[in-house]
Amino acid sequence: NAGVTQTPKFQVLKTGQSMTLQCAQDMNHEYMSWYRQDPGMGLRLIHYSVGAGITDQGEVPNGYNVSRSTTEDFPLRLLSAAPSQTSVYFCASSYGTGGTRELFFGEGSRLTVL
């Protein structure tokens, strides 16, 4: 049981480049989400999904796109990378969509934008 798998673990981009961070879970979780972690700011929600075909914005969605074509996968796309998007990105999922559910996190993807 792999849990939540994120790729790549590390990535360096130049300003203006685009890329996709991949997230896959094998627990049949309905809810999936992307967070970014910045020093002194905790984790901030970028986008989330409550099932295949359904996505919504979190606190800091600008500059990012998501899609959810299957239950397992929830990729995060950076359309035109900016230095402000240098961060550690975490994908997280949970059983169902109820507010009482705890999140299962991936290992993170560290992105540097030059």
Partner 1 sequence: AQSVAQPEDQVNVAEGNPLTVKCTYSVSGNPYLFWYVQYPNRGLQFLLKYITGDNLVKGSYGFEAEFNKSQTSFHLKKPSALVSDSALYFCAVRPFSNDYKLSFGAGTTVTVRA
Nearest-angstrom CA–CA distance, 60 and 44: 7
* Minimum separation from the CB atom of position 101 to partner 1 (A): 9
Residue number, 23 or 78, with CB nearest to partner 1 = 23
Residue 59: burial class (beta carbons within 10 Å; 0-12, 13-18, 19+): exposed
Q: Which is nearer to partner 1, 14 or 40 (CB)?
A: 40
Which residues sit at the interface with partner 1, rule CB under 8 A?
A: 4, 31, 33, 35, 40-45, 48, 50, 56, 58-59, 90, 92, 97-100, 102-108
The number of CA neighbours under 13 Å toward the Cβ of 46 is 26
